[in-house]
């Protein structure tokens, strides 16, 4: 069995030791080296040729983001960010995912000692990712709203691994008067706050964290907060966001399935459901519910997906109207024809 070769980069010897200890229990993963700063990591990459890199962002001698940019330009490889869950760490992590890191995981802290329980699984996924098409991602193009008909549609979007880049590409193409848009991106709470702030700075529509009772307004994108609450849409005449605590669905809270199923109950025939890159199957069943109720359904294609799990699961369920590359999805969304108002 060919083992996954991992290089651990972190300026903390304690954290490097914790990562190495965690991964040493996995028969299919081998830590081939460690480095305490980017300059040493650069030499280790040349010498050891790892399959995947774990990377801290705040390190001496070279900023981790600057190092990541050099990796993506000179020697593209899967990088998983291991980040401190602080506001500064979260902001930097979102920027790292935008630059080209494929995933992020938070460092253990008091009360979250089991954080690294998912580390090996994340690295397995990362090691299989082919970066060629992704690194040459297309520049966003502003798209005029082509909606015709009576009622304003609602757009529902779900994403997981690789979703930060995908959301950046799609939402930066949206016009200022885009239809109300609700988004679930699998991510810890503070990371979603940073993602919403970053998208709000870069996009024409307003991007905010969803709050219970917030009405769905034209020109606004609502991002589900991470944590222990699912995002629902309720109401028919005036549709609003609702946050409700509940158990994980498909291993996630918030869950894309929960969001899509709420849309199927409230406004399905006037909804566009979009499922983007991500591991697992969250959102596939909900997308089928939307399609069965008359919604238009779109998934990201395999060539531009970091992980094709969620789109593939939806295709296998017969839940999909359109399979499109990332640079075409905004056009597909905004060309929807809505039903005529009664």
Most confident of 102-111, 112-121, 255-264: 255-264
Query: How buried is residue 316: exposed, middle or buried, by Cβ count under 10 Å (0-12/13-18/19+)?
Result: exposed
Does pLDDT of 228 surpass 60?
A: yes
Neighbours of 226 (CB within 10 A): 21
Q: Is 14 exposed, middle or buried (0-12, 13-18, 19+ CB in 10 A)?
A: exposed
Extract the tokens encoding 313.
């699961």
Q: How confident is the model at residue 196 (pLDDT cuts 50, 70, 90)?
A: very high
Q: Indicate the pLDDT class of residue 337, thresholds 50, 70 and 90.
A: low
Q: Any idea which residues carry the catalytic annotation?
A: 160, 186, 282
335 pLDDT exceeds 70?
A: yes
Q: What is the pLDDT of residue 49?
A: 96
Residue 338 has pLDDT above 70, yes or no: no
Predicted confidence at residue 135, as pLDDT, reads 43
- Alpha-carbon Rg for the chain, nearest whole angstrom, is 20
- At residue 342, the pLDDT reads 34
Residues contacting residue 217 through CB under 8 Å, at least 6 positions apart: 180
Residue 285 has pLDDT above 90, yes or no: yes
User: Which residue did the predictor score with more confidence, 109 or 148?
Assistant: 109
Q: pLDDT-based confidence at 141, cuts 50/70/90?
A: low
φ and ψ at residue 219, rounded to 5 degrees: 80, 15
CA–CA dist 138, 9 (Å, integer): 29
300 band by pLDDT with thresholds 50, 70 and 90: very high
Give residue 222's pLDDT: 98
Structure tokens at 314: 């939806």
pLDDT at 143: 67
């Amino acid at each position: 069995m060919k083992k996954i070769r991992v290089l651990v980069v972190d300026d903390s010897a304690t954290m490097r030791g914790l990562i190495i200890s965690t991964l040493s229990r996995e028969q299919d993963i081998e830590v081939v080296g460690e480095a305490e700063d980017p300059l040493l990591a650069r030499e280790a990459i040349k010498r050891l040729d790892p399959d995947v890199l774990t990377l801290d962002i705040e390190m001496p001698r070279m900023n981790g983001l600057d190092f990541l940019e050099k990796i993506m330009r000179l020697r593209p490889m899967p990088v998983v960010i291991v980040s401190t869950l602080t506001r500064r760490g979260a902001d930097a992590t979102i920027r790292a995912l935008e630059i080209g890191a494929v995933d992020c995981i938070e460092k253990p802290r008091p009360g979250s000692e089991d954080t690294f329980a998912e580390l090996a699984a994340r690295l397995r996924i990362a090691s299989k990712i082919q970066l060629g098409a992704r690194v040459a991602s297309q520049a966003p193009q502003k798209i005029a709203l082509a909606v015709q008909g009576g009622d304003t549609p609602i757009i529902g979007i779900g994403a997981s691994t690789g979703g930060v880049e995908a959301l950046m590409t799609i939402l930066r193409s949206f016009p200022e008067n885009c239809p109300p848009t609700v988004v679930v991106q699998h991510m810890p709470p503070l990371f979603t706050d940073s993602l919403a702030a970053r998208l709000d700075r870069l996009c024409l529509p307003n991007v905010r964290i969803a709050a219970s009772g917030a009405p769905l307004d034209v020109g606004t994108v609502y991002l589900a907060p991470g944590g222990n609450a699912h995002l629902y849409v309720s109401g028919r005449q005036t549709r609003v966001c609702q946050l409700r605590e509940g158990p994980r669905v498909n291993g996630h809270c918030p869950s894309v399935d929960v969001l899509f199923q709420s849309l199927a109950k409230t406004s399905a025939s006037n909804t566009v459901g979009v499922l983007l890159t991500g591991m697992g199957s969250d959102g596939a069943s909900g997308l089928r519910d939307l399609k069965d109720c008359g919604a238009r359904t779109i998934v990201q294609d395999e060539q531009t997906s970091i992980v094709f799990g969620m789109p593939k699961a939806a295709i296998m369920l017969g839940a999909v109207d359109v399979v499109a590359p990332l640079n075409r999805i905004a056009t597909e969304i905004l060309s929807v024809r809505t039903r005529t108002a009664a």
